[in-house]
A and B are shown apart, each in its own frame.
Chain A
Amino acid sequence: MLDVLYAVLVAPFKDMAGSPAFLIEVLIGGLFAGLMYSLVALGFVLIFKASGVFNFAQGVMVLFAALTLVGLLERGAPVLLALGLTTAVMVALAFAIERIVLRPLVNQEHIILFMATIGLNFFLEGFGEMLWGANVKKLDIGIPDRSFIVRGVQINQLELTAAVTSAVLVALLALFFQRTRIGRALRAVADDHEAALSLGIPLKTIWVVVWSVAGVVAIVAGLMWGAKSGVQFSLSLIALKALPVLILGGFESVPGAIVGGLIIGVGEKLGEVYWGPLVGGAIENWFAYVLALAFLLVRPQGLFGERIIERV
């Protein structure tokens, strides 16, 4: 009994103190992974905020964007043109989704819309693979997957680029939301649909914009994840990785998605490296969920979620 307690409560911390450089490496790895999770979670949050739809298809949108990008690159399009075309495809997709799926389902219960996005998930998966083929593809965006060493700590160049890109994207999104006319309209819709409608904000346009923005976020996420692990079906499963980030950060909060992602990323890496071997490893599938769950029991609305006030 004492041995178990020692192994769980003392030994991991002793290991951490034993080699600080390794600990920092693990932490940095966790932060990078966390930023990537945040990128996916961000797409969820944007759509949930503006339309109240829990968009399960976000993961497949990432896959679809990456597939389109790789497909265009393989056919010899230059990088910038391919990026532009992919963006156009994602915007067109947003239009189609608003017109075909969301508009007929307006005012339905949340769970019905959630189900519709799972239907969308199936459809896009089949569609993307039919267009571009199902085999694993390499996405080469010209950043070498090399590591360099700063004061004894390994840093991966690709991960660093991904982190910087995510940070820039988040900053741009924040500017977009705070400073532009459309951004203000988006925030108004997120705050109160009916009030926004009565002020003359066109809800349908807002939905198209928000799904387009989520599509662009999906492109960036697809770019980063694709460069790291190849473009293949499993890319759509990162949506499942983003879910604990969501409940930790709150469905409605952009900063929550970022901070939640970082916490999950670091927590997951630490758990995997220091506690994982105790139970035989491969805990990355569920550890993040349990972490988020433990957190939720203390704060049911998530880290930055709006305070839940319930009335009868």
Chain B
Amino acid sequence: MIYREAGQFKSSYADDQAIFPVVQDRVVVAAAVSAAFVVPPLVASEYWLQAVLIPFLVYALAALGLNLLTGYAGQLSLGTGGFMAVGAYSAFKLATAFPRLSIIVVFLLAGLVAAGVGILFGIPSLRIKGFYLAVATLAAQFFLIWLFNKVAWFTNYASSGTITAPDRTFFGALVTGPNSTPSARYLTALGLVAVFALVAKNLVRGRIGRSWMAIRDRDIAAEIIGVRPLRTKLLAFAISSFYCGVAGAGLVFFYLGTAETLAFDISISFLVLFMVIIGGLGSILGSFLGAAFIVLVPIVLSNAPRMVGLALPVALQKQIELMVFGGLIIFFLIVEPRGLARLWQISKEKLRLWPFPH
């Protein structure tokens, strides 16, 4: 009864092309976004902000980027960790080399560097497809991590081999670095993610997104009707890497504070791919749902035994966590291979009819 669009007529093209054509959707999304800006800084503890919400935002951004590439353009990539590392290291270099540069500009420039690297490693996608491409992108992952490990210039010749987010302000408030408050970092990350999600949503609704989907669904047919595969695929790699690069910069600047290349190793690539697939390939909302799932499940798992009063040895608990995590992934794939976003869509359909069965 609540969720029904009966009586909402579209009388202009603008109405017809709105991102959320149904009033209820608009209300819910607006409420959710404003709640995200207002509520957590007021009520959430430092632990929640630092260990749950900030990583969720950072990973959601990375998942968004990979979803554009894999979900919309159909190019399977396992190089996410490498592209995130490019973003993080270039943000670090830019922020330390130009201390007066606004942190937002630093992030955008870091994203651009990552986009350039993404284009470079996207070139093989013109000739190879599917799993062959996935393995080829692993080359990017391993090569980039090796490069950042080997060349001391990237870490400003730090003897520890780590990069540390410097203190930077935005509109007078300290938003990065060891002295900033978690809520300031949370709000900056949230602002970035909100803007990027909006851009992504509009990208996939427009000409670019449609050409990506054409390439994904049948690349030869797309080529015949005039979609240029070279440009489309490389654009997908560039924009996806841009998102991943900004996410990588966010990972260091908002979440970790200090990082070495280990923070961007291959397991991150798989983790982000999980988020995209559990959340739903080809869905913006799915990227967020998947990121929430992957960030929350390990936290719930590691706290669950303590909550019910079980004291397990650390090693055993770690192993059980791995097993449950693996089992849950298989379970969700079996229940709904098209991801959490699809489940959400189904429940919306149900909600339209509720409480009447037909």
Say whether chain B's binding surface is mostly helix, strand, loop, or mixed. helix
Contact with B along A236-265 (1 / 0, CB 8 A): 000010011011000100000000000000
Contact with A along B305-325 (1 / 0, CB 8 A): 000000000011011111111
Contact between B326 and A126 (Cβ–Cβ < 8 Å)? yes
Contact between B150 and A297 (Cβ–Cβ < 8 Å)? no
> Within 8 Å of chain A (Cβ to Cβ): is B218?
yes
Number of interface residues of B (CB under 8 A): 47
Contact with B along A118-155 (1 / 0, CB 8 A): 11111111110110001000000000000000000000
Please name 8 pairs of A and B residues whose Cβ atoms are closer than 8 Å in the assembled complex, sorted by A. Answer: A105-B333, A119-B328, A127-B323, A251-B132, A289-B135, A302-B132, A312-B220, A312-B224
Contact between B135 and A111 (Cβ–Cβ < 8 Å)? no
Contact with A along B123-153 (1 / 0, CB 8 A): 0100111111001101100110110011000
> Within 8 Å of chain B (Cβ to Cβ): is A108?
yes
> Within 8 Å of chain B (Cβ to Cβ): is A169?
no
A243: min CB distance to chain B, Å? 5
A125: min CB distance to chain B, Å? 5
Contact between A105 and B334 (Cβ–Cβ < 8 Å)? yes
A160: min CB distance to chain B, Å? 30
Contact between A121 and B221 (Cβ–Cβ < 8 Å)? no
**8 Å CB contact of B132 from A105, A247, A286:** A247
- CB-defined contacts of B330 to chain A, threshold 8 Å: 100-101, 116, 119-120, 123
- CB-defined contacts of A109 to chain B, threshold 8 Å: 337
Contact between B138 and A289 (Cβ–Cβ < 8 Å)? yes
Contact between A122 and B76 (Cβ–Cβ < 8 Å)? no
Q: With A and B bound together, what is the CA distance between A279 and B146 in angstroms? A: 11
Q: Which of A283-312 contact B (CB under 8 A)?
A: 283, 285-286, 289-290, 292-293, 296-297, 300, 302, 310-312
Contact between A296 and B127 (Cβ–Cβ < 8 Å)? yes
Contact between A297 and B124 (Cβ–Cβ < 8 Å)? yes
**8 Å CB contact of B273 from A115, A279, A283:** A115
Contact with B along A70-110 (1 / 0, CB 8 A): 00000000000000000000000000000011001100111
Q: With A and B bound together, what is the CA distance between A119 and B273 in angstroms? A: 12
**8 Å CB contact of B135 from A116, A247, A311:** A247
> Within 8 Å of chain A (Cβ to Cβ): is B327?
yes
**8 Å CB contact of B138 from A118, A124, A240, A296:** A240
Are A123 and B277 also in contact (CB < 8 A) when A285-B142, A292-B135 are?
Answer: no
Contact between A283 and B146 (Cβ–Cβ < 8 Å)? yes
> Within 8 Å of chain A (Cβ to Cβ): is B3?
no
Contact with B along A154-167 (1 / 0, CB 8 A): 00000000000000
- CB-defined contacts of B132 to chain A, threshold 8 Å: 247, 251, 296, 300, 302
> Within 8 Å of chain B (Cβ to Cβ): is A274?
no
Contact between B135 and A246 (Cβ–Cβ < 8 Å)? yes
Are A247 and B136 also in contact (CB < 8 A) when A112-B337, A116-B329, A119-B326 are?
Answer: yes
Contact between A105 and B337 (Cβ–Cβ < 8 Å)? yes
Contact between A130 and B131 (Cβ–Cβ < 8 Å)? no
A126, A130, A243, A310 pick with most chain B CB within 10 angstroms = A126
Q: Which of B254-301 contact A (CB under 8 A)?
A: 266, 270, 273-274, 277, 281
A40: min CB distance to chain B, Å? 14
- CB-defined contacts of B270 to chain A, threshold 8 Å: 118
- CB-defined contacts of A18 to chain B, threshold 8 Å: none
B82: min CB distance to chain A, Å? 10
- CB-defined contacts of A275 to chain B, threshold 8 Å: none
Given contacts A123-B326, A282-B149, 6 further A-B contacts (CB under 8 A): A105-B333, A118-B270, A119-B326, A123-B322, A285-B145, A297-B128
B2: min CB distance to chain A, Å? 34
Contact between A125 and B322 (Cβ–Cβ < 8 Å)? yes
Q: With A and B bound together, what is the CA distance between A244 and B139 in angstroms? A: 9
B214: min CB distance to chain A, Å? 12
B residues near A, CB below 8 A? 70, 76, 124, 127-132, 135-136, 138-139, 142-143, 145-146, 149-150, 218, 220-221, 224, 266, 270, 273-274, 277, 281, 315-316, 318-330, 333-334, 337
Say whether chain A's binding surface is mostly helix, strand, loop, or mixed. helix
- CB-defined contacts of A112 to chain B, threshold 8 Å: 277, 333, 337
- CB-defined contacts of A123 to chain B, threshold 8 Å: 322-323, 325-327, 330
> Within 8 Å of chain B (Cβ to Cβ): is A54?
yes
Q: With A and B bound together, what is the CA distance between A115 and B266 in angstroms? A: 15
Contact between A290 and B143 (Cβ–Cβ < 8 Å)? yes
- CB-defined contacts of A130 to chain B, threshold 8 Å: 316, 319-320, 323
Contact between B220 and A310 (Cβ–Cβ < 8 Å)? yes
Contact with B along A11-40 (1 / 0, CB 8 A): 000000000000000000000000000000
Contact between B319 and A129 (Cβ–Cβ < 8 Å)? yes
Contact between B218 and A312 (Cβ–Cβ < 8 Å)? yes
Q: Give 7 nearest A-B pairs by CB, closest first.
A: A126-B322, A122-B326, A123-B326, A119-B329, A289-B139, A286-B142, A126-B323
- CB-defined contacts of A127 to chain B, threshold 8 Å: 319, 323
**8 Å CB contact of A115 from B145, B149, B220, B274:** B274
Contact with B along A209-234 (1 / 0, CB 8 A): 00000000000000000000000000
**8 Å CB contact of B76 from A111, A297, A311:** A111
Are A126 and B277 also in contact (CB < 8 A) when A112-B333, A285-B142 are?
Answer: no
B120: min CB distance to chain A, Å? 12
Which A residue's beta carbon lies closest to that of B138? Answer: A289
Are A244 and B135 also in contact (CB < 8 A) when A285-B142, A312-B220 are?
Answer: yes
